[in-house]
Amino acid sequence: MKVPSADPPITRALSKEEAARAPMRKMTVIAQDPGVRRDNKIVMSTIDVPAEDLRNGPMGYRVQVVDFDATRRVFHGSHHLPASVVKEPKSWRDGEPRIQRDFRFHAQNTYALVMKTLARFEFALGRRVPWSFRTHQLKVAPHGMADANAFYSPEVEGLVFGYFDGASGEKVFTCLSHDIVVHETTHALLDALRERFMDPSTADQAAFHEGFADVVALLSVFAQSEVVEHLLVGKRRQRAKELFITRRELEPQALEKSALFGLAEQMGAELEGVRGQPLRQSATLTANPKLKDTDEFKEPHRRGELFVAAVMQGFINAWSHYALGAGLRGQKRFPVRRVAQDGADIADLLATMWIRAVDYMPPVHLEFGDALSAALTADFEVRPDDRRYELRKHMRDSFEAFGFRPASDRPDGTGLWRQPPPGLKYDRVRFESLKTEKDEVFRFIWDNREPELLNLRDGAYTEVLSVQPVTRVGVDGFVVRETVAQYYQVARLTPDEMRDVGIQAPREYLRSLGETAKAFAKGAVADGDEGEDTPAPPADVDAIEAKTTPLYGGGVLIFDEYGRVKYFVENDVFGRKQNARLAYLWKEGLLEPGEKSARLHATRLSTLHRLRALRPVTSRAQRW
Ligand SMILES: [Zn+2]
């Protein structure tokens, strides 16, 4: 049997004209982390990143590497990167262990992986993705602090990677781990796409930021066939004739062990504390629908691991199934390179599916079932024919095994979002403006505000957050044009008002609110007695506002290329999920009266990434 050949080796630089026109360029990065070795050389990978003329730093149009160490107050200088892959030092391409101390290489590794992740998101979503803050360039500090940690911070508008002394005495740099760089970049991108997902809301939403960042990071590692091949070959001798694996080695449990667990084993043990154990858990957690209801798995990080395990086990099942099915009847040995390539292709498709899913997720109060329906729908729109890998079926099955079902109860069992309600009115909106203008989208929502249509609630403030025209390309060149619009509703209610709209908040919370409300009511009565010309003390209004937790709702509208709504995904600002959210926040101690949600925002960030020094800032929530 002929083993399919790899890409031809890169032998010459592109000519100036070729380079100027090429949309992408190649850069060498560490395939996973410096601990993953073959013949004592670090396994490297050549990845495609958007081409641009970099200034020293490197500084590009979306990313600015600032090699400043805030702990030691040292600036390591602006790095000048090689102009093309053939000009890179041989030590980089060969994966010489000494590149672990080459800060210029560190700068390239970090820059390239951040840009690759951004490009992956922009390709999947079919549009530019701005950062969550105003500036165009994300600041990235590859050696930003002496700490076994890395984090994304909207306040510093960037990513900070730490370094520390490893057990072996060598310095460990988090910026050299593929999954850590992609993980932090994914936090930044998800925050830009769904600004309310960092808020405390439900156990699932708290877990989602972490789980999603892990999933994109792990699938990004597996999308490199170099890594997959290395894992499959394992310890066996690497003479070309022996590069086959057996049928038994392709069974799901065996693949899980060699690929998922194998990678976890090879990663530097020092980094375990930084990245948690999502990879190890994704291989070792036995699927069980009851886990999600245990106290242990209500803690955000553990719950995030359930999400990771569901996606990664679905990945392994799809891959195993396809690889075995692609062989001839009775075939006993399969070429490793082809199996690795299949695995990398499936990982890539799944990463795209999950990134696209974000556009189809409700803007607030996400649960895993919503995320799953969003992924299934996003994938179906661009890749209606799923017979090749059956990715949607494998995702549904693996989530079900962990007790998570699609939020959509469509009768056909596909788990896709339902069609929009019939009777939507389009007569007064202008289609061209609907593709780009918030006011036009708001008009559409306003015109359709009835409960049986878009269900815009009286008594809540409504704001259209974003309107994005997108062009998505499927694997077969199939093009889908859509407009994605997000809006949200916010309300602050007194206990009586909550009761009126049917929200059941925890009793102790209501009591604490009730006292404020009583004081407020007293003030208002006294005010009335004294006549109209005495102004009410404004402090009371502030006091009651400060003591109520805002309720959020909102929706996503997906318009097709003719301006008709294809999907409408909503979370009612006075709906059932509010009860669960308030109960969760109360239980977690996040609903203390008198605390504003900006405080909640900071609490969440710091628990996730130990951002101790962060000053709480006013979030959007405070401006309405
Ligand atoms: Zn994280």
Q: What is the pLDDT of residues 397-432, one digit of tens each?
A: 999 999 999 999 899 989 999 989 999 999 988 988
Please report the pLDDT score of residue 184 as a whole number.
94
Q: Whole-angstrom Cα distance, residue 45 to residue 31?
A: 5
Q: How far is the CA of 494 from the centre of ligand 1 (A)?
A: 35
* pLDDT for residue 228 is more than 80: yes
Q: How far is the CA of 185 from the centre of ligand 1 (A)?
A: 9
Q: How far is the CA of 180 from the centre of ligand 1 (A)?
A: 8
Q: Which amino acid is at 559?
A: F
Q: How far is the CA of 182 from the centre of ligand 1 (A)?
A: 10
What tokens were used for 202? Answer: 């439900």
Place of tokens 């993705």: 129
Q: How far is the CA of 152 from the centre of ligand 1 (A)?
A: 8
Q: How far is the CA of 183 from the centre of ligand 1 (A)?
A: 6
Q: What is the pLDDT of residues 96-147, one digit of tens each?
A: 999 999 999 999 999 999 999 999 999 999 999 999 888 899 999 999 999 8
* pLDDT for residue 221 is more than 80: yes
pLDDT band at 493 (very low <50, low <70, confident <90, very high): confident
Q: Whole-angstrom Cα distance, residue 527 to residue 539?
A: 13
Q: How far is the CA of 306 from the centre of ligand 1 (A)?
A: 15
Please report the pLDDT score of residue 356 as a whole number.
96
Q: How far is the CA of 466 from the centre of ligand 1 (A)?
A: 25
pLDDT band at 242 (very low <50, low <70, confident <90, very high): low
Q: How far is CA 79 from CA 71, 111, 349, in A?
A: 20, 11, 34
Q: How many CA atoms lie within 13 A of 155 on its CB side?
A: 15
Coil/strand/helix, residue 464: strand
* pLDDT for residue 176 is more than 90: yes
Which one has a higher pLDDT value, 524 or 585?
585
Please report the pLDDT score of residue 525 as a whole number.
37
pLDDT > 90: percent of the chain: 50
Q: How far is the CA of 355 from the centre of ligand 1 (A)?
A: 16
Q: How far is the CA of 187 from the centre of ligand 1 (A)?
A: 7
Q: How far is the CA of 455 from the centre of ligand 1 (A)?
A: 35
Q: How far is the CA of 604 from the centre of ligand 1 (A)?
A: 11
Q: How far is CA 114 from CA 77, 89, 108, 201, 452, in A?
A: 20, 21, 10, 29, 44
Please report the pLDDT score of residue 546 as a whole number.
60
Calculate the CA 205 to chain-centre distance.
12
Q: How far is the CA of 49 from the centre of ligand 1 (A)?
A: 23
Q: Whole-angstrom Cα distance, residue 350 to residue 127?
A: 19
Q: How far is the CA of 613 from the centre of ligand 1 (A)?
A: 17
pLDDT band at 522 (very low <50, low <70, confident <90, very high): low
Strand locations in 365-517 (E)? 461-473, 479-491
Q: How far is the CA of 512 from the centre of ligand 1 (A)?
A: 34
Calculate the CA 88 to chain-centre distance.
32
Q: What is the pLDDT of residues 68-106, one digit of tens each?
A: 999 999 999 999 999 999 999 999 999 999 999 999 999
Q: Whole-angstrom Cα distance, residue 572 to residue 552?
A: 8
pLDDT band at 342 (very low <50, low <70, confident <90, very high): very high
Q: Whole-angstrom Cα distance, residue 294 to residue 207?
A: 14
Q: How far is the CA of 488 from the centre of ligand 1 (A)?
A: 25
Q: For 360-393, give the DSSP string.
A: GS-SSS--HHHHHHHHHHHHHHH----TTT-HHH
Q: What is the pLDDT of residues 179-207, one digit of tens each?
A: 999 999 999 999 999 988 888 788 898 89
pLDDT > 70: percent of the chain: 83
Please report the pLDDT score of residue 516 as a whole number.
59
Is the Cβ–Cβ distance between 485 and 556 less than 8 Å? yes
Is the Cβ–Cβ distance between 102 and 91 less than 8 Å? yes
Nearest to 117 by CA among 35, 215, 36: 215
Q: How far is the CA of 209 from the centre of ligand 1 (A)?
A: 7
* pLDDT for residue 617 is more than 70: no
Mean pLDDT for the chain overall = 83
Q: What is the pLDDT of residues 564-579, one digit of tens each?
A: 999 999 988 888 788 8
- Secondary structure string (H, E, C) spanning 22-41: CCEEEEEEECCCCCCEECCE
What tokens were used for 306? Answer: 């359930």
CB atoms < 10 A from the CB of 41, how many?
Answer: 12
Q: Which amino acid is at 83?
A: A
Q: How far is the CA of 294 from the centre of ligand 1 (A)?
A: 22
Is the Cβ–Cβ distance between 395 and 402 less than 8 Å? no
First to last CA, the chain: 67
Please report the pLDDT score of residue 191 as a whole number.
93
What tokens were used for 34? Answer: 């410096």
Q: How far is the CA of 8 from the centre of ligand 1 (A)?
A: 37
Q: How far is the CA of 159 from the centre of ligand 1 (A)?
A: 11
Q: What is the pLDDT of residues 496-520, one digit of tens each?
A: 778 888 888 888 777 776 665 565 5
Average the pLDDT over each of 38-42, 355-359, 503-507, 546-550 and give the range with the smallest value: 546-550
Please report the pLDDT score of residue 541 as a whole number.
55
Q: Which amino acid is at 546?
A: A
Average pLDDT for 547-552: 75
Q: What is the pLDDT of residues 345-364, one digit of tens each?
A: 999 999 999 999 999 999 98
Q: What is the pLDDT of residues 600-616, one digit of tens each?
A: 333 333 333 332 222 23
Please report the pLDDT score of residue 167 as a whole number.
78
Please report the pLDDT score of residue 212 as a whole number.
95
